[in-house]
Amino acid sequence: MVRWVLLMLASGTAVLSAAGAVASGALDHRTDLSPADRDRVARILQPPADFTAPEPFERMPGGGATTRIARGPASFRQPLGNLDPDGEQTFGLGNGLFKKLWVAAPSSTQASDGLGPLYNARACRSCHINDGRGRSGGEDGFVLRLGLPGPGGMDPHPVYGRQIQDRAAPGLSAEGRVAVTWTEEPVTLADGAVVSLRRPAYSLADPAHGPLAEGVALSPRIAQPMIGLGLLEAIHEGDILAAADPDDADGDGISGRPNRVVDPATGAAGLGRFGWKAAEPTLRSQAAQAFSADMGLSTAFHPDPAGDCTAAQADCRARPTGVQARLGAEEIPDPVLDLVAFYARTVAVPMRETAADPLVLAGKRQFHAAGCASCHTPKFVTRRDAALKELAFQLVWPYTDLLLHDMGDDLADGLAEGDATGREWRTPPLWGLGHTEAVSGRTEYLHDGRARSVLEAILWHGGEAAAAREHVIGLSKRDRDALIAFLHSL
């Protein structure tokens, strides 16, 4: 197989002729690249000037790590396409832990106990259905985060903690169940077509410890797809920060900004990349957070074996734990956490089968004309010094800037995380979007799954994305259908 790096670099001349001049010093922050590489990469990353044909290697959104698989339930469960045999073996071990069912302590299966005592799921894959999205309205892969305004930011709820756990170990009561009511709201497009949006209202039903406190922020979240996470981790921090414009200095109405959060591995501030509000800096910290909040399993980053149980939940904190001295001080020892993080890092992005379709290309033109690419940045070239050689120096097409954006009142949850306000969300990657129904069994988008179609998701956009939304509302049916076809091709 010809090395992807050589293919990408060989394309530099062709991309230069289409893209035009590049500002001098545009990638000076890329100290992982030689000056010649920086020049080539800057040209490759220029916006398209021609929408009549795909850009070089556009069909391979994960670069050489792309997997070639037809759409289906297993589309998001494949290893990186360029992973070596040793890596595939480690991928398999991590996969086994990702779908492992944990049980409450004490148990005869000591390698599997420690679940809870309160929890939302028994396995990672219980939330990430087929490694894809969770489901809306309190079903599998859905959680309800909580927060109360405090002097230093958002404090946990004094009784229920930072997240409602709707399941419990034997002998305990779950904290409650999430109740949601939907209200349909019609939106009329410029051509007279009417789209119905469903607006959710969330509450806690059957609360085990009384009603929620006055003024608590409720943040519903569904699990996000697992594909391409290692490639997102391998994007150079400087490339992300270069797109930040917190004060909208260029006056385009887009003011993306990074979320600076504490990296639990170092104790220092780091760039948040993962989670709906970019609250986690690495895949290892993201996995540890999920083990603790969703399954009540302790790690070195979150060492409390009671998970999210608060001091007010004495019965929960008195339960046996799965900590075993011979295995270490945590229920999830570092080697287990490392294997799960490796798995998350090496789940591949599937190939785009229809990138050259004329309707898809027409929709790509509309995507750029509407300004969608201002936040959903199409492409990056990953670091040469990435954690894994398979992730290094790849031309990738995630369609995200990994920055926070104010999405307006309709999508606001009021819950701040790190530097993210209650109105801000990280731009979600769009790669794999068209596989959603085949993987998850339904189409539900946005942070809480309220949007039943891609068009509904667009129509919920506000704040910095309001202009793009209005552009889409004003499209003819032909152009709107082309835009949707492009998004479904990803």
Six token digits for residue 428: 């979600």
Tokens encoding 49? 């000037």
Tokens 């409650």 locate to: 176
- The torsion angle over the Cα atoms of residues 185, 189, 191 and 195, rounded to 10 degrees, is -40
In degrees, rounded to 5, the angle at the alpha carbon of residue 359 between the alpha carbons of residues 355 and 364 is: 65
pLDDT by 10s per residue, the chain, length 490: 334 333 444 433 323 223 334 455 679 999 999 999 999 999 999 999 999 999 999 999 999 999 999 899 999 999 999 999 999 999 999 999 999 999 998 887 777 889 999 999 999 999 999 999 999 998 999 999 999 988 878 899 999 999 999 999 999 999 999 999 999 999 999 999 999 999 999 999 999 999 998 899 999 999 999 999 999 999 999 999 999 999 999 999 999 999 999 999 999 999 999 999 999 999 999 999 999 999 999 999 999 999 999 999 999 999 999 998 887 899 999 999 999 999 999 999 999 999 999 999 999 999 999 999 999 999 999 999 999 999 999 999 999 999 999 999 999 999 999 999 999 999 999 999 999 999 999 999 999 999 999 999 999 999 999 999 999 999 999 999 999 999 999 9
Closest CA to 106 of 292, 322, 323, 329: 322
Look at the alpha carbons of 460, 464, 470, 471 in this order and tell me if their dihedral is positive or negative.
Answer: negative
Helix ranges (DSSP H) in 312-409: 314-317, 334-345, 358-369
CB 408 within 8 A of CB 466: yes
| Whole-number Å distance between alpha carbons of 87 and 99 | 18
Peptide bond into 106 cis (omega under 30): yes
Cα three-residue angle 454-456-459, rounded to 5 degrees: 115
The answer, as to whether pTM is greater than 0.75, is yes
The type of residue at 446 is L
- The ranges assigned to domains in the chain are 4-81+229-256+348-489, 85-227+281-345
Tell me, rounded to whole angstroms, the distance of Cα 471 from its chain centroid.
26
For the chain, give the number of residues.
Answer: 490
